[in-house]
Amino acid sequence: MQYFPVFLDANHLRCLVVGAGEVGARKLELILKTPAKITVVSPEAVSTVTKLVNDNDLTFHHRKFEDADLDNINIVFVATDDENVNKYVHDLATERGILVNVVDNTPLCKFITPSIVDRSPIIIAMSSGGVAPVLLRYLRQKLESVIPTHVSRLGEFSERFRDKVKAKLPSVTARRYFWEDVLDGDIGESVVKNQMDKAEQDFELALDAAGTEQNIQGEVYLVGAGPGDPDLLTFRALRLMQKADVVVYDRLVSNEILELVRRDAEKVYVGKARSNHSLPQEDINQLMVDEAKKGNRVVRLKGGDPFIFGRGGEEIQTLVSHGVSFQVVPGITAAAGAGSYAGIPLTHRDYAQSVVFATAHLKDNSIDLNWTSLAQPNQTVVFYMGLTGLPILCEKLIEHGLDKTTPIALIESATRENQRVVTGTLESITSDPLTKSVKPPTLIIVGGVVSLHKELSWFNEKDNNE
């Protein structure tokens, strides 16, 4: 981020506006929404500024800017049509360590004013850093349409009872859980409908009940993060990620998805790569148990789907044995995501009437699978974790009956911007120079459907076989 977003306390803010044209008027209208003490200096003023000054009893110096105007000032907006004046005020304010904004001149701004959705006391501020104002305006319009004006009532209600809740519930986690239940439940609905008597009565009962609970019970959510593209997350997955206290994630979870996790959640990496386990599976299981017993909401974030080669079943068995509550949120498994984004349908009436998922992870330099059942005609086989064992995989499928010209695809970083697809045959794929550059995470698809890749590919315009 080039600009660090902050909200300034305007109760004791002393603001200077240099310039009293229409641009200055817009800034005045914005600042007047705060309790800041405002001074305007300009040799001339448009009628809009004159009215704002008179209606709000502002200090107005009807003259050119003087150096002394910056005395005891915290923040300056410069909105004149004289570039030399703008530059002079900017340089002088910067020298004195005063925050300065020269309107519509980003290089001369030590801060920028964001686009605002005002639902006071709830304020949403957005910025493009001055590079895309039209896009920013579009996004603001979208937010204005989906955030109801009465959300301000919830903000005012929360402010009124904040100290009381803090006194009753000393634990930060307990307070957060309580407020989430209030805002998401019937009390929040009553506030939105302006049924304040009912809301306050129900609130007091809920707070008394929360205060008598000695132990907060944590919970574990096994969440499928999908194959990588954050747009493929389910609504439920995103909602739980935003509520998490602790997030336990593996190496297949993309950075873009991690960015959607609640900002102040503790993130614990437990990624596994071949011959390099950040944390043994038993320790991962125990970590989730321990965090839940502390009263935390734990999201176990897994690439793909938790129940398809994700060890979700093993982890749940541990949770059950320790009496820890849990939920499972399915995700788009890597096979579905990779096939869709590579233009390779896993089933097709002319090519494959069945599909099989298998893990081709090497153990003792071999892959122990039922090769006879896998090497069947008119069937698609999807191999997870099979890149290292690719030569063995191809050899065994040919040995057990598949034609050596059977199409095969390697899909690297499926659904992500750097997705890459390399196709060939069981006989040719291992000798293809492109194959040597393919890196995990890579999914392998074998079967006639792979021949449709060039025709149906839509996501990645590059053909990695040319």
Active-site residue numbers?
250, 272
* Separation of alpha carbons 405 and 407, rounded Å: 6
Secondary structure of the chain: what % helix, strand, coil (to 5)? 40, 20, 40
SS3 207: helix
**Phi, psi values for residue 35, rounded to 5°:** -85, 15
How would you write 118-157 as a 3-class SS string? EECCEEEEECCCCCCHHHHHHHHHHHHHHCCCCHHHHHHH
Beta bridge partners of 40: 17, 60
Query: Shortest CA distance to 224 belongs to which of 240, 206, 237?
Result: 237
* Residue in 134, 135, 140 with CA at minimum distance from that of residue 115: 140
Query: Interhelix angle for 281-293 vs 312-321, to 10°?
Result: 50
Would strands 37-41 and 59-61 be described as parallel, antiparallel, or unpaired?
parallel
For 94, how many CA atoms within 13 A lie in the half-sphere containing its CB?
Answer: 14
Cα separation of 90 and 229, whole Å?
A: 44
**First CA to last CA across the chain, in angstroms?**
38
138: alpha, beta or left? (left if phi > 0; alpha if psi -120 to 50): alpha
Q: How far is CA 331 from the centre of its chain?
A: 16
Tokens of 314: 């093993």
CA distances to 62, 377, 426, 440 from 396, rounded to whole Å, are 89, 15, 10, 22
Cα angle, residue 63 at apex, residues 51 and 13 outer, rounded to 5°: 65
> Where are any strands of DSSP class E within 392-435?
407-412, 420-425
